[in-house]
Amino acid sequence: MTLLGGFLLVLNWFLFIYAVNHVSLQSASFAYIICPIITTVLAFIILKEKINYWQWFAVLLCVISCIILSYGNLKDLIYSIVIAFSFGLYLISQRRNNDFDKFLILTIQMVFASIILLPFYPSYGGAIPTEPLFYSLLLVIVVLFTIIPLFLNLYALKGLNSSTVGILMYTNPLIHFFLAICYFKESVSVAQIISYSLIALSIVVFNIKQILTLRQKEFVYFKK
């Protein structure tokens, strides 16, 4: 399962980079919007995780949101589904891989991914950069935006279902959306506002049972 996870990571990275360079940036970004839906469905089919009616309703809201965002971009949607499917399979495979320390698992997967990519270097490698800025930015991308999020994903799978981890991934595009509006002052369409509102609502609906349970426990605790 550890090596399978490493292979799925390489596949996901390759598909993502290919989409960015040869399809469209929108298809690459949209992949991680539909990824939670695919992860939830895969968790239900493969891992037999129980999904209640409210959670299925949340998935339906996500599907409606994705349909609105992808309207008129069928080709981009197909690439997005393939990319999302590869990362969804990664989360599902690592849900069952609980026999070792998560940081050790991630380290092995990074080494395995490097071994897979190494034979391609002579054909696709270019001149070695000499600017210090390149290595500074590379360090930030590798540590802050790759290793830490992957480790947190694996760690979350120790106590949460794959479907829950998948749905919580929606916080990422929501943060991007609010930054685009509030910080970069980008204009947004009515369709985008509706879509992201549905995504925010789906997160609450999907976790409503856990939220009510926590509130009930807090009430009992303070009552005592």
Label residue 42 exposed, middle or buried (CB < 10 Å: 0-12, 13-18, 19+): buried
Instruction: Specify whether the CB–CB gap between 29 and 174 falls below 8 A.
Output: no
Which residues have CB under 8 Å from 110's CB, separation 6+? 6, 147
Over the chain, what is the mean pLDDT? 80
The domain spans of the chain are 2-118+133-223
DSSP structural state of residue 161: -
Q: What is the pLDDT of residues 142-186, one digit of tens each?
A: 888 888 888 887 887 777 776 677 666 767 777 767 777 787 777
- Copy the structure tokens of residue 20: 């960015």
**Residue 8: predicted pLDDT:** 92
Q: E strands of 83-124, at which residues? A: none
Q: What is the number of H-type helices and E-type strands within the chain? A: 12, 0
The confidence band for 65, taking pLDDT boundaries of 50, 70 and 90, is confident
For residues 43-70, average pLDDT: 84
- In whole angstroms, give the CA distance from residue 211 to residue 46: 26
Q: What is the pLDDT of residue 84?
A: 86
Which three-class secondary structure state does DSSP give residue 190?
helix
118 vs 23, 107, 114, 153, CA distance in Å?
25, 16, 6, 26
- Dist CA 214 CA 15 (whole Å): 39
